Amino acid sequence: MKKLNREFYNRDSTIVAKELLGKVLVHETDGRRAAAIIVETEAYMGAEDKAAHSYGGRRTPRVEVMYGGPGLSYVFLIYGMYNCFNIVTREEGIPQAVLIRAAEPIEGFDFMARNRFNKEFAQLTKIQIKGLTNGPGKLCGALSIDRKLNGEDLCGNELYVEEGEEREFVVVSSKRIGIDYAEEARDYLWRFYIEDNLYVSVK
């Protein structure tokens, strides 16, 4: 399958977030591929977005990679134990990103099951199967994405997004999750997900 190119990411996060739905996130480690269809995203629109880490043009060591240009990964630690994986959008100097919130596993089932539950996929309950990747921290756990991959170029060969199979789906827009502090920005409909998909974190 074809890898998404730099120009795909060089657009506003609201557009990229929607277009990433249905695409396939791939992590290759030790020659092993783990892959999942992106089913839920959120757009963070940079300096003017009160929910964004880069709001007001904030430029600290943590946020620096958001200024680095389209197609970089931005991975941060939240609540001391969970990683959140984002893709930087727009040209260098414009600090926007898309948070990948949930995905549907399609390749590397045992790898993901071991990472999340230390079991083989066949041993998982239905609840655990759904719990593999139905949230930003869970997704990072399943795909083994952590801060070592912060700043990684998604136009490279370890962590990237590729075109998926053609699929029909309906895109739902809603408020972003977990940003109640963001005043009026909390009501923007910048969260996107595939309707009726099992792995969406919050319906």
Partner DNA sequence: ACCGCGATGCCCT
Partner DNA sequence: GGGCATCGCGGTA
Binding-site ranges for DNA (CB under 7 A)? 42, 44, 51-54, 58, 60-63, 74, 76-82, 84, 86, 97, 99, 116, 131, 135-139, 176-179, 181, 201
What is d(CA 77, CA 106) in angstroms, rounded to the nearest whole number? Answer: 26
> Which residue bears the tokens 């792995």?
199
- Comparing CB distances to DNA, the nearer of 123 and 163 is 123
Least spacing, CB of residue 70 vs DNA, in Å = 15
Least Cβ distance, residue 181 to DNA (angstroms): 4
Instruction: Write the CA distances from 158 to 57, 58, 153, integer angstroms.
Output: 30, 29, 9
Could you tell me if residue 57 is left (phi over 0), alpha (psi between -120 and 50 degrees) or otherwise beta? left
Nearest approach, Cβ of residue 97 and DNA (Å): 5
Q: Which lies closer to DNA via its Cβ, residue 60 or residue 157?
A: 60
| Contact between residue 145 and residue 131 where contact means Cβ atoms under 8 Å apart | no
Amino acid identity at 160: Y
Q: Phi then psi for 49, rounded to 5 degrees?
A: -105, 110
What whole-number distance in Å separates Cα of residue 64 and Cα of residue 43? 18
Smallest separation (angstroms) from DNA to the CB of 125: 11
CB of 54 to DNA, least distance (A): 7
Would you say 2 or 154 has its CB closer to DNA? 154
Q: Please give the single-letter amino acid code of residue 70.
A: P
Rank residues 30 and 127 by Cβ distance to DNA and give the closer one.
127
Q: How far is the CB of 164 from DNA (least distance, A)?
A: 22
Residue 77 or 171: the one with the smaller Cβ distance to DNA is 77
Any alpha helices (H) in 35-194, and if so which ranges? 109-117, 126-130, 136-143
Residue closer to DNA (CB basis): 2 or 181 = 181
For the record, the structure tokens of 97 come out as 């990103």
